[in-house]
Amino acid sequence: MKKLFVLAIATLVLGTSCKKVTDDPNPTNSPYKTMTTYMVDNNMDLPDILTDWIVAPPALADVQTFVNTYDIIDIRSAQDYAAGHIEGAINSPLSNVLVAAASTSKPILVVCYTGQSAAHAVVALKLSGYTAKVLMWGMSGWNSNFSSSWESNSGPVNGVTAIGNTNWVTTPTEPLTQTFGDPTITGSGTAATMLATRVQAMLDNGFKGVANVDVLADPSNYFVNCYWDQADIDTYGHIAGAYRIKPISLTVGEIKNIDPSKKVVTYCWTGQTSSMITAYLNVIGYDAVSLKFGANGMIYSDLQSHKFVTPTVDLPIVQ
């Protein structure tokens, strides 16, 4: 499948999202239907992509075995890569990750600063036929010399923007009483070619994130989805006006509960799962952004788990 996908990329045609509901909300022969049917038929529904996609840093004694398991792609800037990276990692911008992947032979591990941008890359890779995973927490969780991104956006001082905010509430989430039509995408050629086009466009557009302060200031500007279990919402609360759509599947139909006419914000615990979902939604035609740093950036002091903690044992790097 890798070779077929690379061939499809070589013949890309322009395919962009119009970000609106079609006049006929469910045309049976639309580019959206053609592409998403192909995705479902080839085990590329979102629950498939969200299977076995992340791995935690190893114990110090296991680093060499861990490193030997993967072909590692580090998508940080060339300057930060040069300042220190995991042994054997190659440096590639996010937009070029599929080209970098073409020379791999092992499962791919994608490394970034925090694990969030890497999630976009992993969606692209998995939709392109590769086995790929995100390094949990990125380089921030590998070595404390690189933890500043998480430290400055989470913790008991920097991660409490929602505590006491009037738009963080304990009322029930919005009921899922509406279903919506499909996004409109344009494209031609085979479904595989359309998918290749849209995957590369997602990469070219870069990481799609939004700051929690912007969403908390006026959640009504967005279609907000809290990707948590109900028990967690009962424990912690949620952003005002948020829905709880989990799982999200083309096959089962939860995707129909998402409004394609609005900017879709997904949030989770750390911004890593929500980045996976955001990348996928952009590929299939939604205007989607991930809430950066997730709950760690909003209610860190209240969290009972899923917290970023600066490493106390630094794993080795090379320069």
User: How many residues does this entry show for the chain?
Assistant: 319
Q: Give the pLDDT of residue 27.
A: 54
pLDDT digits 0-9 by tens, 267-285: 999 999 999 999 999 999 9
pLDDT (average), residues 90-94: 98
Using pLDDT thresholds of 50, 70 and 90, give the confidence band for residue 29. Answer: confident
What is the reported pLDDT for 307? 98
pLDDT the model gives residue 13? 32
Sequence ranges of the domains in the chain: 2-22+160-302, 49-144
- 2-22+160-302 and 49-144: identical CATH topology: yes
pLDDT at 187: 86
Tokens 């469910």, located at residue: 26
Confidence of residue 173 (pLDDT cuts 50, 70, 90): very high
Cα–Cα distance measured from residue 181 to residue 70, given in angstroms and rounded to the nearest whole number = 40
Take residue 16 and report the two structure tokens written for it: 């962009």
Out of 12-26, 104-118, 295-309, least confident range: 12-26
pTM of the prediction? Answer: 0.91
CA–CA gap between residue 148 and residue 160 (Å, rounded): 17
Kindly tell me if the per-residue pLDDT of 17 is higher than 50: no
Give residue-wise pLDDT tens across range 186-223.
988 999 999 999 999 999 999 999 999 999 999 999 99
Predicted confidence at residue 303, as pLDDT, reads 98
CATH class of 49-144: alpha beta
Q: What is the per-residue pLDDT for 15?
A: 35
- Give the residue from 272, 168, 289, 275 showing the smallest Cα distance to 223: 289
SS3 174: coil
The pLDDT assigned to 28 comes to 64
Q: For the chain, give the mean pLDDT.
A: 93
Mean pLDDT within 27-33: 83
2-22+160-302: CATH topology is Oxidized Rhodanese; domain 1 (3.40.250)
Amino acid at 262: K
Q: For strand 168-169 and strand 238-239, is the pairing parallel, antiparallel, or unpaired?
A: antiparallel
- Among the listed residues 248, 244, 306, 254, the one whose alpha carbon sits nearest the alpha carbon of residue 277: 248
Pairing outcome for strands 17-21 and 183-185: antiparallel
The alpha carbons of the chain give a radius of gyration, in whole angstroms, of 19
- Tens-place pLDDT, residues 133-162: 999 999 999 999 999 999 999 999 999 999
pLDDT at position 188, please?
A: 87
Distance CA 11, CA 101 (A): 18
pLDDT at 6 over 80: no
